[in-house]
Amino acid sequence: MEQAEIQPFIAYRGYPPDWAHDTLQTVSGYTWWEVVRGGVEVRTVFGSTHAAQGNWILVPHGLQRRQLLQRGTMLTSLSFQAVWPNGRPIVELEKPVTGPAGTEVTRLARATCDIAGRAVGPAAFTAREFSFMEWLQVRCSFLTFIAQLMENVTAPGIGGRIAGPLSGDTRLDIIVHDIRQNLNAGPLPYSAWSQRLGLARAQIDRLAARHLGGTLRARRDVLLRDEIRHQLAMGTLSAKELAAKYSFTDAAHFSRWVRRMTGHTPTELRVAAV
């Protein structure tokens, strides 16, 4: 259980950036919003989910969505990662879930965002530096928020459930965790895995086929695709910078790979987000 990766990557209270008002994206994590003012609509393959002022909405991990925010909408926003080492989401949800604000979940989310807002750095969507005490305060408030939220969304009739941490083979979990921690477009490090786990490449591939239903390269590519889409939607790094960050040969190689994996160029994905 200590291996679970539970951490926020966006936390703010206020008005979202202009690009966020109408965007199609897939986030490698969960998104939780309290609608302080205005309204939110989230469209997925399961239909439309609405959250008006005085309510909150949780969008599941990795679910492609089109989000439509009314002009003037104000949010308490927490986007976070909550996965097991093999990348499996801790809470499995099929579609977005809503609930009333004014509860303990909302209070804890506000507290987490308020602490984050006092840290060094400019407004939302930029990195911030925390003192050790600020980090402890954020961590404590955030983890309590997660516990309360999970209790809410896994209640009878809501549809969420806690997923187990294992794929079915501990050795494969170690490999997938390594892929997630070192996402890049280069060759998979089979030699390092073989030395660490005492498995031949063919054995590793058989484990992946049995427990993942496919190849490790396919799993890596999906994880990398989702992360790159998220980075393009955020708009903080250029295509050239992303190509270098994820070990593509050059920007042209990066663009071809993104188009093959998503059906769109990096520019098209960024424009769609904006």
Side-chain half-sphere of 43: how many Cα atoms within 13 Å? Answer: 8
Cite the beta strand spans of the chain per DSSP E: 5-14, 22-25, 30-37, 39-44, 47-52, 55-59, 65-69, 74-83, 91-92, 97-100, 161-162
Q: Show pLDDT as tens, one digit a residue, over the chain (274 residues).
A: 556 889 888 888 899 888 788 988 878 789 999 999 999 999 998 999 999 999 999 999 988 899 999 999 999 999 998 988 777 889 989 899 999 998 999 999 999 998 887 644 334 445 566 778 888 888 899 999 999 999 999 999 888 888 877 667 889 888 988 998 899 999 999 999 999 999 999 999 999 998 888 899 998 998 898 888 878 877 778 889 999 999 999 999 999 999 998 888 888 877 655 4
Q: Residue 81 has which token pair?
A: 């990662």
Element (H, E) at 196: helix 190-197
222/218 Cα distance (integer angstroms): 6
Q: What tokens were used for 75?
A: 């949010």
Q: Does the predicted model carry a pTM greater than 0.85?
A: no
**Count of residues in the chain:** 274
Query: Are the C-beta atoms of residues 109 and 78 closer than 8 Å to each other?
Result: yes
Q: Kindly report the CA angle at 110 between 137 and 149, in degrees rounded to 5?
A: 90
Contact 100, 136 (CB under 8 A): no
